[in-house]
Structure 1
Amino acid sequence: MATVLLAACSTPPERMAKAAAPRENPDILWHFVHDQCTPAASQGRYPPAPCVEVTSAQHPDRGYAVFKDRTGAHQYLVLPLARIPGIESPLLLRPDAPNYLADAWTARMYTEAALHRTVPREDIALVVNSAHGRSQNQLHIHVDCVKPTVRAALRQALPQLTTRWTTLPMRLPDAQGDRYIARWVGGAQLSINPFKSLAQFLRDPAQMQWHSLVVVGAQRADGQPGFVLLSTRANAEGSHGNSDDLHDRSCAVAFEPDRG
């Protein structure tokens, strides 16, 4: 079936939709990580409050912190220890850049701990919002449950997805009408760097600022584990490139009747 890729052409910034003005200090997450969590970890304090985990505190260019988000009972944030404003940062595309989304996939254990149960990989989504769809200027990856309707739509689309980015054949439910591109990544662990994959598809790294990036655990019908990568774009029609609406803060998928 023929597919039409989302246009990656540049749109003048003055025509782009603007996110609502942040209601708080846009650097508050950076100050938590840099001024509190990292020093606490360096001093051997555990947990390194206000974070729940800090890795490689002595090597901030590679380490990350896990922070309990105030949104949702089960949502956590994964943040680099290095100063990285967001998805648009060239630091994410360096040859030696850490795979922060792989780190966030590992950190899903905190969401599972909050749920008091292990959940299938299909139930977890990682979300990074665009530069125009976020309120904080430190890269932060939201880790939480995916909406049941989104999970069902991705199961339906999965047979058509390959390792090439392509437009999803349907609009995702509960996604405010945003159009998504998607690709498949095989393997139980996230072996590729999704930031680099999206940038290579867009060809112009400057376009990254307009895009969100989502990683959803998946499993093909033959049992092969993997991931679906998703991205939507801020545009003049009102989208801010924000994919938070793919998350379900109640985590209904974890409490389905057949889960026990």
Structure 2
Amino acid sequence: MPTNRRAASRVAILLVLLIVGMLAAAIHFKKNSDALWQIVSEKCVPHQQSRGEPGPCQRVDLPHRYAMLKDLHGPLQYLLIPLDRITGIESPQLLQPAAPNYFALAWHERTLLAQRRGSPVDDWALSLAINAQYGRTQNQLHIHLSCLRPDVRQQLDHLTPQLTAQWQSTTLRKHRYWLRALTPAELTQQSAFIRLADERPEARTEMGKYGLALAELGDGRLVMMAIERNWLLLNSGSAEELQDHACQLIPPIKKAA
């Protein structure tokens, strides 16, 4: 009898995994997964090169090989999108030493939010996020530059004194995350993707399982937050769950001109 129960449990687990996988695939492909790539490669870059105006993007940086695009969701959310074809966090291109430091570039572009709002935006309210391979809907790498959730902000403030350069586990949004503090200088010195792969060796060969986020700590340091996909816990590796695209952490936003 116990053997039958164990067998039934295994079957149930396999069924759950199958259902979750199918749902993830459905979400992954429900939209045109090349939409961002088409916007950047067919509109933003040609417009920048021919007219010196990057519309519909807000910026095309040809030397650093990226574009900034206002996302349709949220009043202040922007996306950093490479000008080269890079599917996502699982791409081996991101671990090449010469690869652009996309996280540092995205954090540098946070001034776009203040420009759109028409007044300063405290870095304390902001965050970056990239989702795991099956936690996203687009097959062109994009980093979300948006606001941080108020509850996550509160939790990070509480954790700040104990965060160091060593990765440590905690629970955010009911999911297990690995957190590591770093200075702004360290963010610019080494790619966040390479840092994750170097410092957490289990991630190097399976980067597609990971989502990655970044925010500022109250003492001026930054914190990287890595989440690993776990289908059994209904966790798709979507670090974007730490963000609040409605931007509740800042006062009511002035309507953009």
TM-score range, shorter chain: 0.7 to 0.9
Letter in 2 for 1:202: R
From 204, 222, 231, the equivalent of 1:227 is 222
SS of alignment partner, residue 93 of structure 2: helix
Q: Distance in 2 between matches of 1:214 and 1:140?
A: 12
Paired position in structure 2 for 1:250: 246
Paired position in structure 2 for 1:4: none
Report if the CA contact (8 A) 1:102-1:189 is conserved.
Answer: no
Letter in 2 for 1:235: N
Paired position in structure 1 for 2:213: 214
Q: Distance in 2 between matches of 1:157 and 1:21?
A: 33
The aligned runs of 1:74-113 (5 Å cut-off) are 74-113=76-115
TM superposition score normalised by structure 1: 0.83
Q: Distance in 2 between matches of 1:182 and 1:230?
A: 5
SS of alignment partner, residue 99 of structure 2: coil
Paired position in structure 2 for 1:238: 234
Q: Distance in 1 between matches of 2:183 and 2:200?
A: 21
SS of alignment partner, residue 69 of structure 2: strand
In the TM superposition, residue 73 of structure 1 has moved relative to its aligned partner by: 1.1
SS of alignment partner, residue 246 of structure 2: coil
Q: Deviations over 1:71-116 (max 9, x none)?
A: 1111000011011100011111101111001111111111222222
Q: Does 1:32 align with 2:39?
A: yes
| Larger of the two Rg values belongs to structure | 2
Q: Against the structure 1 CA distance between its residues 196 and 76, is the aligned structure 2 distance closer, same or farther, given a 3 Å change threshold?
A: same
Q: Distance in 2 between matches of 1:126 and 1:104?
A: 7
TM superposition score normalised by structure 2: 0.84
Report if the CA contact (8 A) 2:28-2:135 is conserved.
Answer: no
SS of alignment partner, residue 230 of structure 1: strand
Report if the CA contact (8 A) 1:167-1:181 is conserved.
Answer: yes
SS of alignment partner, residue 205 of structure 2: helix
Q: Does 1:186 align with 2:200?
A: no
Q: Distance in 2 between matches of 1:219 and 1:201?
A: 24
Q: Distance in 2 between matches of 1:230 and 1:108?
A: 18
Gaps of 5+ in 1: 1-11
SS of alignment partner, residue 228 of structure 2: coil
Q: Distance in 2 between matches of 1:114 and 1:74?
A: 7
Report if the CA contact (8 A) 2:167-2:178 is conserved.
Answer: yes
Structure 1 runs, 4 residues or longer, greater than 6 Å off: none
Q: Distance in 1 between matches of 2:186 and 2:229?
A: 29
SS of alignment partner, residue 73 of structure 1: coil
From 126, 130, 133, the equivalent of 1:131 is 133
Q: Does 1:49 align with 2:55?
A: yes
In the TM superposition, residue 149 of structure 1 has moved relative to its aligned partner by: 1.2
Gaps of 5+ in 2: 1-13, 253-257
SS of alignment partner, residue 182 of structure 1: strand
Paired position in structure 2 for 1:165: 167
Q: Number of aligned pairs?
A: 230
Report if the CA contact (8 A) 1:189-1:226 is conserved.
Answer: no
**How much identity, in percent, do the aligned residues show?**
34
Q: Deviations over 1:6-48 (max 9, x none)?
A: xxxxxx9x948432243211011111111111111111332x1
